């Protein structure tokens, strides 16, 4: 999948253009590089390999938030149908979240201390939620879910 990648922080712009300023690290537009293979997807989406199952973010949308009862829905993302390792030499660096291809949040993960998962409490009632995870060895992987 073609995208624009920030050379400073690995943020990936998926809306078709490089932003004037990186929303994660503040780097200028000139820090972005267009990459045709920035995001990996399974070769056969209907039959992903075990390797692919460890990298594709699994998204669960919970329409009723248990923490903020009014105007909130939860989004849970676990990296991998088969849980991805979180070891010093092989781990998920971060998970970036987007709604309708516009960046909304980054969750940074620490190997050995955290599981490869994150959750958000969204005000947005509808749209397409995209999660992109970055594996330190195998690159960025994507999944999407309708809210």
CATH of the domain at 133: 2.60.40.730
User: Are 66 and 95 in a shared domain?
Assistant: yes
Answer yes or no: do 46 and 29 share one domain: no
Q: Which residue is it, tokens 């939620």? A: 129
- Domain with 62 in it: 41-146
- State how many domains the chain has: 2
Cα separation values, 97 from 26, 40, 53, 77, 143, Å: 17, 16, 19, 10, 10
Same domain assignment for residues 46 and 21: no
- The answer on 10 and 78 residing in a single domain is no
Cα first-last separation, the chain: 22
pLDDT tens for residues 24-71?
A: 999 999 999 999 999 999 999 999 999 999 999 999 999 888 899 889
| Statement to judge: residues 67 and 2 lie in one domain | no
Q: CA neighbours within 13 Å on the CB side: how many for 112?
A: 2
> How far apart (Å, rounded) are the C-alpha atoms in residues 55 and 131?
11
pLDDT band with cut points at 50, 70 and 90 for residue 15: very high
When comparing pLDDT for 102 and 66, which is higher? 102
59 and 109 fall within a common domain? yes
Statement to judge: residues 33 and 45 lie in one domain: no
């Amino acid at each position: 999948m073609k995208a624009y990648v920030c050379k400073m922080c690995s943020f990936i712009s998926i809306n078709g253009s490089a932003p004037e300023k990186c929303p994660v690290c503040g780097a200028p537009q000139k820090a972005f590089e267009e990459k045709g293979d920035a995001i990996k997807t399974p070769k056969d989406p209907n039959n992903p390999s075990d390797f692919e199952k460890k990298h594709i973010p699994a998204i669960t949308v919970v329409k009723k938030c248990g923490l903020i009862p009014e105007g909130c829905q939860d989004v849970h993302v676990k990296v991998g149908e088969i849980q991805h390792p979180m070891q010093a030499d092989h781990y998920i660096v971060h998970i970036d979240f987007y709604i309708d291809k516009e960046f909304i949040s980054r969750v940074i993960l620490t190997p050995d201390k955290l599981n490869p998962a994150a959750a958000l409490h969204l005000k947005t009632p509808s749209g397409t939620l995209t999660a992109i995870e970055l594996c330190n060895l195998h690159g960025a992987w994507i999944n999407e879910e309708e809210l």
